[in-house]
Chains A and B, each alone.
Chain A
């Protein structure tokens, strides 16, 4: 009986690992050791990665949870990060399924329009919210930084998926 329970808990933990690792990386991205504009949008990278690779354990509610946490840590109005990640969820699950299981370079290429559209949607909704356009060059810079950080964040996610998650085996 005890073994059943411990197996069940271990399996649950395994299935929560994508969410836990994303929260961990998200909080880590707020570390005050980089210049101000050099903070990649880690939540977008992780959501894109896990939705393509393990959509069975990283679902809509995981995306929502990440959005809520990001909203609370960030200074943007509540709901904006949730909107951005839900928008990314719609993009990935409807239009970018093609990139599932493709080589890394192809997935990275797929990430470029995904990041651009998701962050542009956030920029647009915030511009409407504040009734003024936010700096577009800063948006482009944020997108470029996020795209540039994609391989590094993916490396950590690949480690979590291949080394720590054993539920598939």
Chain B
């Protein structure tokens, strides 16, 4: 047997072994999630800082562009904001009065409040969104509050949930990803359902009761049923209804995420203490 033939044989043998490794990894991924979680979290912690450094020049260019763009719009925007501010002050006063009333009534009824949300702001470092998966990597710094499964928001609504946590970085599964399931309620009639991603930009609304009344434009908020997410966070609205499925449009614009907020639960007692202090 010639040397080139032996080399060719080894090459083919190696190819088969590497294919087998790929399949074994997929199988392990399907069965042993703890091992995969640990390995993947460690790898996220190692690779994410590299991406973080790579995006610095691009981020700088983007900021300079945004600065000049904002400057050109500053006058018109200022006028609009002043007008909006007057309206918001009025609404703020009304909201304050309602909040005090709500707290007093809750106290009279001895209502146990849900846990308070504590927010951690995280900067997006990397994103992925194609036919295969929809995810983000965010810099969370060294903090112990962020945990797997916590919900992620931006200023408009729910973005997704924490999937893996590495050293200072977290992988976020977007609500459009095929693995994402978020329990929701229709705001108008409190009908429960589930927002299920399928790697398209408009996730499906599933597990609705057959008798439920759904219309285009109906708002969906988190139900808090599973106890993982706080209730009442805006998720999206119904954008398409046909015989086979209901699709929703997320409130959060997933195309332009720069910073996100990660929601973690706080101690209930702490909230009750705060409320009593405020009321007194």
Contacts and interface: CB of A to CB of B under 8 A. Distances in A.
Contact of A75 (B43, B134, B201): B134
Instruction: Enumerate the 5 nearest inter-chain pairs by beta-carbon distance, A residue then B residue, closest first.
Output: A79-B25, A36-B129, A75-B135, A72-B43, A138-B131
Given A76-B133, A90-B15, A33 B22 contact: no
A78 B25 contact: yes
A35 interface: yes
Interface of A: 24, 27-28, 30-33, 35-37, 39, 41, 60-61, 64, 67, 69, 71-80, 82-83, 86, 89-90, 119, 122-123, 125-126, 129-130, 132, 134-136, 138-139, 141-142
Nearest to B125: A32
Contacts of A122: 132
Interface of B: 11, 14-15, 18-19, 21-26, 28-30, 36, 39-40, 43-44, 47, 50-51, 54-55, 58, 62, 124-137, 163, 171, 173, 176-179, 198-201, 254-258
A77 B31 CA distance: 11
A73 B126 contact: yes
B47 A73 contact: yes
Given A27-B54, A31-B51, A138-B199, A39 B129 contact: yes
Contacts of B131: 119, 123, 134-136, 138-139, 141-142
Contact of B126 (A32, A125, A130, A136): A32
A83 B23 CA distance: 8
Contact of A60 (B14, B28, B44, B254): B14
A38 to B, nearest CB: 8
A71 B171 CA distance: 13
Contacts of A24: 54
A133 B209 CA distance: 25
A72 B44 contact: yes
B132 A80 contact: yes
B15 A36 contact: no
Contacts of A141: 130-131
A82 B257 contact: no
Contacts of A79: 21-26, 29
B147 to A, nearest CB: 18
